[in-house]
Amino acid sequence: MKTYKAGYLVGSLAKASINRKLALALARLAPPQLAMREIPIGDLPLYSYDYDADFPEPARRFKAALADIDAVLFVTPEYNRSIPGALKNAIDWASRPWGENSFTRLPSGVIGTSPGSIGTAVAQHQLRGVLCFCNSPLMNTVEAYIQFTPGLIDDEGKVTNERTESFLRKYMEEYAAFVERVLTVLPRNA
């Protein structure tokens, strides 16, 4: 069985982020063929095309981290019915300069959690549109809109609700299968 390196981006910069807890849970529940690691976005300056000729060091590190993975998973909150600014900023850095889009042929998945009853459905919908523009093959099913309740996931990523844990494990199995399918027919460096 081949192992794939999957990076995950957490759209929240908050230390106590419930989406960071979700990301840790997903990494714990991932099948063995996925080697999961976070790709931090918090130290990226605001993107401007003025930097395209000479990226600052945090942006170079970010682009290098994306070049070193086989797939990416976005774990995003929803701020004001939209994508968090920090996550959109990271996507803008990754997709530049023109012709050097880090998401081209990089299989992606989208998931998120919120205390609200629709989870992060609106932000995920918008994020899917951005990723399609960035030419990132996108897992469209299984969709996951997780309503976060107090204690659902602890600080180490342990899920306390058996049904939620089972669903998230199945989500990660589907994500792993999607990554393998995409990279079998559409290798990144072909």
Residue in 117, 122, 118, 22 with CA at minimum distance from that of residue 73: 22
Identify whether the C-beta of residue 93 lies closer than 8 Å to the C-beta of residue 67.
no
The position carrying tokens 């602890």 is: 154
pLDDT in tens, the chain (190 residues): 899 999 999 999 999 999 999 999 999 999 999 999 999 999 999 999 999 999 999 999 999 999 999 999 999 999 999 999 999 999 999 999 999 999 999 999 999 999 999 999 999 999 999 999 999 999 998 899 999 999 999 999 999 999 999 999 999 999 999 999 999 998 877 6
Residue closest to 181 by CA, chosen among 127, 102, 88, 109:
109
d(CA 63, CA 79): 25
pLDDT tens string 144-186: 999 999 999 999 999 999 999 999 999 999 999 999 999 999 8
Domains (ranges, CATH) in the chain? 4-185 (3.40.50.360)
DSSP letters spanning 55-97: --HHHHHHHHHHHT-SEEEEE---BTTB--HHHHHHHHHHT-S
The pair of structure tokens assigned to 19 is 């989406």
